[in-house]
Structure 1
C-alpha cells in the first residue's frame, strides 16, 4: 500500500508519469536516460532530478547497458495502478 501511495504522489507530475508510461511500454529492458528525457519533454539535466527522486522512491533502478545509463521500472504493479488512478481522476 505504501508503495502505491508513493507512486501516486510521484506520478501526479506529468513528466514523471510520461517516464513511467515509457518504461511500462519498454518492459524489462528499460530505456536509456536520454530517451526517457526526450519522451518526457525534458532536458537530460532536468530529467536527472526526476530519475533521482524516482530511484530513491524505489520505483526505478539504474542499470548501465553498453556504456549507457538506462532505467528500468521496478515497481511495475504500483506504477500501473497509480497511473490508472491518475488517468481516471484527472489529476494529471
Structure 2
C-alpha cells in the first residue's frame, strides 16, 4: 500500500464517520453532496461534521463545488479512498 493510502486508511479507521462520508461521496460521484446531507448520513451534528470536512479538505481528500446554490463536498482522492476502503473491507475493519 502506498503512503497516501496507508495514511488515509489509518485516518478512516480512527473515525468511522469518515468511512461513511467517503462511501457516500464515492456513490455521489462528481456531483458531491452538501455538508448537511453528509452529516446526517454519518450520524453527526453539523458542527462535528464540519471539523471532519475541514480535516479532509486540508488533507486534499475532498474539494468544494457549488451545485444549485449549495456548497457540496466532492471526493478528490477517489483512487486513494477506494483503495483505503478496499483494504478496510478486506481486513474486516469496517463497521
TM-score, shorter chain, exceeding 0.5: yes
Which has the higher mean CA deviation after the structures are superposed, 19-28 or 81-90? 81-90
Give, in angstroms, the shift of residue 68 of structure 1: 1.6
CA contact (8 A) 1:60 1:75 kept: yes
- When normalised by structure 1's length, the TM-score is 0.91
2:66 counterpart (47, 64, 67): 64
Separation in 1, partners of 2:79, 2:44: 25
Separation in 2, partners of 1:86, 1:59: 17
1:1-92 map, 5 Å: 1-12=2-13, 13-92=15-94
Which has the higher mean CA deviation after the structures are superposed, 20-29 or 7-16? 7-16
Give, in angstroms, the shift of residue 79 of structure 1: 0.2
Mark the runs of 5 or more structure 2 residues left unpaired by the alignment: none
Mark the runs of 5 or more structure 1 residues left unpaired by the alignment: none
Give, in angstroms, the shift of residue 4 of structure 1: 1.2
Structure 1 stretches of 4+ moved >6 Å: none
RMSD: 1.2
